[in-house]
Structure 1
Amino acid sequence: MRQIVAAEAGSCGVQLYFHEGETFRLEQEVFEPFVLLSAEAEVPQNCTVKMLAGNGFFCRQAFFSSFEEYSKLLPELKKAPGVMVLRDNLQQALSMKSLRLFGDMDFTALRRMQFCIRGDDNGIENIEISDTSGFTAVYSGGEKEVIQSFIDRINGFDPDVLESFNGCRHDLPLLVKRAKKLKIVLSCGRDGGTFTMRQSRYAAGEKQYSYQRFSLAGRHVVDILHPVQLYDAAHRDLEELDLPSLQEYFQIEGSFVPQIIGRLSEILLPAYFYRTRELPLGFQECILRGSGSALDALLTAEYLCKGYSIPLPETPRPYAGALSNMEVAGVFHNVRHCDVRSLYPSLLLMFDTAPVRDEAGVFLSLLAKLRTFRLAAKDRARTLPDGVEKSQQEALQSSFKILINSFYGYLGFSQGAFNDFALAEKITAAGRELLGKLVKTLQEKGAVVIEMDTDGIYFQMPENSGEELETALNDILPPGIQLEFDAEYPAMFSYKAKNYALLTGDGAIKLTGAALKSRALEGFQRKFIRQLVSARLHDDPESGREAYENWRSAISNRETALEELAKSEVLSDSPENYRKKLASGSTRRSAPYELALASNKEYRAGDKVKFYVTGTKAKLPVVGNAKLLDDADPGNRDENIAYYLAKLDALYETFA
């Protein structure tokens, strides 16, 4: 299998990069860009047309003889009726050539470099770097020499991946700006070229992020903040997304920022690396594309390689969702969690039913293959001792799990060429029915069902029950569906649906849900909630009362750090756009935007605004009664004591 470490597609064809000793080898192949056409669509000039099999709407593939001709016509083609454009050139090339990045490489085989640039618009003070050879450096001194040393190290070490934290917003824009000012060519690409940039967006859960995307020929430019945001959207465990908080959460030791970034990458990137091995996409694209879009790229590639036409997506329609609700509230002891392994993908395979427009029979065969690979990797990981190989197998099975689970969600993906809302509804209903049977059996056996999510159940074990209960539950399951009892907890606090706390066997407390740990809460609120929840889990109301009195005293006497009282909000829009929307009446006044507009600092979309509330009344509008944390005078405290005490009282009444 070809171990391609990077690839580019464009006017020079397809450029494939391979490791060769401590540098790289370049291979070049022909690239014929293409568009897909309906039966009625007009064929672009100077194209070779291939007829595609099947009844899909896009039944012809038009190849261009030159990339220049394709690029010239692209703006018109995007708007033309009956034309489908795969806008990612690399996706086109990898799809048609059945190529994938990284081959059978392990993540540890990548050459990776981490960097942190310190400075501002007036100049770069220093650049800190580390890499997978163990090399570290801090380049300081004259700004020109600092930047040139950074360029030289990139070209000398020849990394496949450049990693930073918040680099797309701070480090790289600053580097490009200062290099331009100093007339330094940032020749960091494997072709000797410099960075290219474009505005882009991606989604992490329900949040949309705008960012400046940086690319470098032959290398992958990764801002590790992006997988952090994706991790947060999936797990909702992170209280803050800054490096010190992440270092504490992931238990990363050390103080040298590039090495912290490198350790974060080792934790978060392997799943995306192994995903890239399966998909016709670049590494950065695999990180930032949603699972539905990524699977659509894979299915489209399989179809085109088989010479099959591509259908139009079905029109979206509503259907009943998966079973997910809270049964009871309060504190429960001796709690177990059972999980139906890959419930919905397993139901798809059990029913042996593919999407209605999957004429080539690709959907289920891919799902079955990936499921087999995942189980094999999981079994290998289980038998291996702790170490690098075990970590690799765990990352591999985790990557396959994400891909496998996306098959079910893809059925209801509005932009998926092979979506099938009727099948999604059928599989969802079967999942609800199966989970309903499990709940009924648990209750009949004396268990207290506390909370259900998409494919798992939290419940309080009945007394004197163990293997008998597990046997009764497994007897309900159809062939091919497996139940895992994957966790035990001494106590659980259930507040409301999808908001609960778990006490682990080693005494740690895991909070789930925005009501318990949202970053929209002030710091003191998050800490106080954790103290109250801990008191509930340990049946210790006195410690909750003590925490309440301590906070009340500290706030009343202005002894609480203002940082704890401040709220952090990320600007989803630029202050200037906010001003325009406000003038047109399309938005309401907002404290963080008003503060940003009034500040001497230049704020942009994506920047964080930290502010606290001033005044004397417990109930008052925050707009007009807020101050930037940076503008606070430690010697003349002016936070609104009544406002913060009212918040404290409300929390105590809710959770004590």
Structure 2
Amino acid sequence: MEDEWLWGWDPTPGIVSVWAEPDGRAFVWRRLPGSGTLVREDVRFRPWLLLSSLEDLEHLGERLRPEHEGPAPHRVTYQELEGSGALRYVVRANDGRALNAAVLHGAAQRLGRPIGHLRELGPNAVLAPPPEEQYLIASGRTYFRELGFDDLHRLQFDLETTGLEPDRDRIFLVALRDPEGRTEVLEAHGDGNAAEAALLQRLVARIRAVDPDVIENHNLHGFDLPFLARRAQRLGVPLALGRAGAPGLRQRPASRGATPGRDSAGRASDPMRRSRYTVPGRELIDTLDAVLRHDFAARELPGHGLKAVARHLGLAGPEREHIPGARVYEVYRSDPERVRRYARDDVTEAAGVARMLGGAAFALARMAPRRYERLADAGPATGVLDPLLVRAYVRAGAALPAHEEGDGTPHSGAALHLFATGVARHVVKADVASLYPSLMREYRIGPRRDRLGVLLALVDRLVEQRLAAKARARAAAPGSPERHTHEALSAAMKIVVNSAYGYLGAVGLTRFADVHAANEVTRRGREVLALLCRELAQRGVTLLEADTDGVYFAVPEDWREADERRVVSEVAALLPPRVHLEFDGRYAAMLSHEPKNYALQPYDGPLVLRGVAFRSSRAEPFGEDFLRRALRLLLEGDIPGVREVYVTTVTALRRRAVPTLEVTARVRLTKTPAQYLATRGRRRELTYEAVLASGRTHWATGEHVRIYRAVGGRAGLLPDPDADDNTGAVSDPRDYDIDFYVRLLRETFAARLVRGLTPEDFAAVFADPGQPSLFAPSLTQARPILTVLNEGILPLPLGEGGG
């Protein structure tokens, strides 16, 4: 039963896409394992809803019958589920639209007012999954059984446009990469509407000829598909991109994507509402989702744009063509071959990012009863665990509980201890692997209302099978499809396992939330963390920082790696059986700045930065560059070297030797033009003033721009070279406010080093080089410092001297 809860029960292999209609028709596309042949199945299913009561269907009279009497035309059947849950009736019909209409009619009669949509009845009265999920939950099927990621037929396409506004700009070139890895470029032959329309028709024909299972690109749902849909609408070109049904892209709600429409003035009709596109038979995957998911866990990417990610992941070749986005069309008119290379590089890199980071979503689709494209942008709690739990309860014939708002009990936070700040040498990290899920398993802590114990059963199975997947990955050849598949499966399982605790604490958001159970997990977590910290300290180490992810500590200089591993193993043996403490790394030095904000220098390899103090998407590049160079020198103990880096940077700013791009901050626009203009008279904001000063009067919420402070307090705007749309640096005005950026360097970036220096040394290192002092202290004997904090000391438990 537990395996059915996790994987479904129908063994049908090779499903690559499912499309279901509310009228009970489902279309299933499969690639036969081994041959790769694509087949399509047209099947019928009975659409269904979960209701808390049959009251809104009583008007059907004799047409409402128990499920055991069987289906019939125009009949609605019901099955009462067992247990005390609020959603206790599964109602089914041959046509989902008729079923929904019947419920809405009855609800309108009961409430005495029109009801336009089932969601108006609330989540405790009705649960209505999308048709595909109804089909997958009822059938027990899931995507991709017996397939590897490389078995999918994946196509990437990328638009090159004359500008960012689809109502006035146009598409002049499209790059494609087919499932075999071949790239091609389609171009408009001329400047008019007819030429662009012909280009879009060739694009549609090419996609249909290649017939991919998956279409991918970076920012696909934020730029390419919305732009393509708008241009096709204006030009009257049917976008027959799907494998069945009416031509055209369809929209579905989403938390991140494009605004769904614009009014007559070109403004977003509802800037707070987002949507994504979908078509029958193909999965539309935005690699930006995989990048965001990866960076949420790893916190290592320099940015989220395709080019920045590709460089970081080693996917960008040495011959990669670079063109500032705003100049692409200009360059195309004089050197089209250069733009063709640029566009081909884009789709090649998008394919690489999808393969390297997209495996987790692929593996999730093997488990959860949702379309692959929905799992790619879903949160792990409501997007993955909820469908798994619903399927388990429906399969078991058990009623589902209603959402509860909670009893007012606050959710206690995770344990976090900062024991020391400053620079420590010979640092070790001991990792507590998935502490909270491990405690849930060890002490059987699950949601009170999960009477089937599904959540704990899923966590148990996932932990066990993740270990097996990791072992299979290690046994497979490096770089092989088998290794990639098993690594992706392991990563997906980790995502779901680690979300189980968050699911518990999300009161009012998840169906089985239980703040008391979540607080018991955190209580146990604090006990375990206190135990391992005390035991480590008793073995002669200096504790630096500890939280639910692990502990950093410094060891004596004469210790070797064997001593470090021995201590970790000794302490690990004292922890509860399912809580695993692992040796996770050793570092030459660490700067501990604030909780969860630190810099690590490995014995070999690049500097590692963690926390918003050291890594921020808004940080000015010149400051980040200074900080990295200064941190490396500080961790080596070279204080005069830190001073030299500071003086060099200040001098470069004052000589305007720093490019303007290096002083810009990358910020996200969160207000529409109308919203900002409504408050501009009371409060002016540099970001929006920069956009307005550039001559722009329209922009989209969610757009990123690079701004800076120019001389005289003016606001400046530069296009973002890492943006994956048509923006980019055009010129370098070098008109930034020098004094402002010198202050920013000292007060923001240099301040990150304050914990590693005495006050006197800090003042000397970051003294203004333009105002030399006759009494400046020598830095030749200066050394980094480490300060042990009393507030980091862990209390002893009762019975060991505690009060």
TM-score by length of 1: 0.92
Q: Where does residue 361 of structure 1 map in the other structure?
A: 453
The answer as to 2:157 corresponding to 1:67 is no
| Corresponding position of 2:216 | 163
Residue 179 of structure 1 and its aligned partner are, at CA, apart by 2.2
Residues 1:353 and 1:454: Cα distance change in structure 2 (over 3 Å): closer
- Paired residue secondary structure (2:614): helix
Indicate if the aligned counterparts of 2:689 and 2:715 stay in contact, CA closer than 8 A. Answer: no
For residue 515 of structure 1, give the secondary structure of its aligned residue in structure 2.
Answer: coil
* 1:470 and 2:517 correspond: no
> How far has the Cα of 1:23 moved from its partner?
6.0
Matches of 1:60 and 1:198, distance apart in 2: 27
What secondary structure sits across from 1:279 in the alignment? coil
Within a 5 Å distance, the mapping from 1:611-630 to structure 2 comes to: 611-616=707-712, 625-629=714-718
Relative to 1, partners in 2 of residues 1:436 and 1:41: Cα closer, same or farther, differing over 3 Å? Answer: farther
Look up the equivalent residue of 1:579 and give its one-letter code: L
Other-structure match for 1:500: 598
1:101 alignment partner, one of 108, 118, 143: 143
The equivalent position to 2:687 in structure 1, one of 562, 569, 592, is 592
1:296 matched to which residue of 2? 386
| CA positional deviation for 1:103 | 1.8
The amino acid across from 1:576 in the alignment is A
Cα distance change, pair 640–41 in 1 and its aligned pair in 2 (3 A): farther
Q: How does 1:364-513 map to 2 (within 5 A)?
A: 364-388=456-480, 389-414=482-507, 415-462=509-556, 463-464=558-559, 465-513=563-611
The structural deviation recorded for 1:598 is 5.0
Task: Tell me the residue number matched to 1:240.
Answer: 303
Deviation readout 1:265-317 (Å, 9 max, x if unpaired): 01111011101111011112112221110202211111011111000233243
Structure 2 SS opposite 1:490: strand
- Picking from 245, 249, 266, the partner of 1:195 is 249
The 5 A counterparts of 1:637-648 are 637-648=734-745
TM alignment of 1:286-365, pairs within 5 A: 286-293=375-382, 294-316=384-406, 317-365=409-457
Q: 1:23·1:158 contact (CA, 8 Å) conserved in 2? A: no
Question: Cα distance, 1:151 vs. partner?
Answer: 1.6
Q: Which runs of 5+ in 2 are unaligned?
A: 1-10, 61-74, 105-115, 190-195, 258-270, 321-344, 720-727, 754-761, 763-803
**For the Cα contact (< 8 Å) 1:169–1:212, is it kept in 2?**
no
Contact 2:52 2:87 in 1 (8 A): yes
CA distance in 2, matches of 1:210, 1:520: 25
**Counterpart among 516, 521, 537 of residue 614 in structure 2:** 516
Which of 307, 324, 349 lines up with 1:260 in the alignment?
A: 349
Structure 1 stretch displaced more, 219-228 or 455-464: 455-464
Q: Which amino acid is 1:604 matched to? A: A
Which moved further from structure 2: 479-488 or 441-450?
A: 479-488
Aligned to 2:160: 118
Q: Whole-Å Cα distance in 2 between the matches of residues 70 and 569 of structure 1?
A: 47
CA contact (8 A) 1:168 1:211 kept: no
Deviations 1:14-60 (A, max 9, x none): 21111266663221222322222224753374532210001101111
Residue 185 of structure 1, CA deviation:
1.5
Unaligned runs of 5+ in 1: 617-623
Of residues 179, 184, 191 in structure 2, which corresponds to 1:132? Answer: 179
The C-alpha deviation readout for 1:171-206, integer Å capped at 9, x for no partner, is 222222222333221111011632113553149xxx
Equivalent residue, structure 2, for 1:621: none
Matched length = 642
1:538 and 2:636 aligned: yes
> Are the equivalent residues in 1 in contact too, given 2:254–2:274 (CA < 8 A)?
yes
CA drift at 1:552 = 0.9
Partner of residue 174 from structure 1, selected from 214, 218, 227 = 227
Matches within 5 A, 1:44-55: 45=60, 47-55=76-84
Residues of 2 paired with 1:222 and 1:469: CA distance?
A: 46
Distance 2:281 2:205 in 1: 16
| Secondary structure at 1:170 match in 2 | helix
Q: 1:5 aligns with which of 3, 16, 30?
A: 16
Relative to 1, partners in 2 of residues 1:197 and 1:500: Cα closer, same or farther, differing over 3 Å? same
Question: Alignment partner of 1:169: what SS?
Answer: helix
**Higher RCO, 1 vs 2 (CA within 8 Å, ≥6 residues apart):** 2
Matched letter for residue 498 of structure 1? K
User: Contact 1:77–1:83 at 8 Å: present in 2 too?
Assistant: no
> 1-side partners of 2:571 and 2:674: how far apart?
58
Residue 676 (structure 2) aligns with: 578
Task: Kindly state the Cα deviation for residue 568 of structure 1 after the two structures are TM-superposed.
Answer: 1.7
Distance between the aligned counterparts of 2:137 and 2:692, measured in 1?
47
Kept in 1: contact 2:141–2:369 (CA 8 A): yes
Aligned-partner Cα distance in 2 for 1:549–1:354: 57
Q: 1:37–1:83: 8 Å Cα contact kept in structure 2?
A: yes
2:226 maps to a residue whose letter is P
Q: Separation in 2 of the partners of 1:99 and 1:5?
A: 11
2:589–2:635: 8 Å Cα contact kept in structure 1? yes
Distance 1:40 1:422, change over 3 A: farther
2:228 equivalent to 1:217:
no
Kept in 2: contact 1:7–1:16 (CA 8 A): yes
Q: 1:158–1:372: structure 2 CA closer, same or farther, 3 Å change rule?
A: same
Q: Equivalents in 2 of 1:185, 1:135: separation in Å?
A: 26
Supply the distance in 2 between the matched residues of 1:325 and 1:523 (Cα, whole angstroms). Answer: 31
Letter in 1 for 2:230: K
Whole-angstrom distance in 1 between the partners of 2:180 and 2:416? 47
Deviations 1:511-562 (A, max 9, x none): 1111112122211111111111111122222322222111111111111100
Q: CA offset at residue 4 of structure 1?
A: 0.9
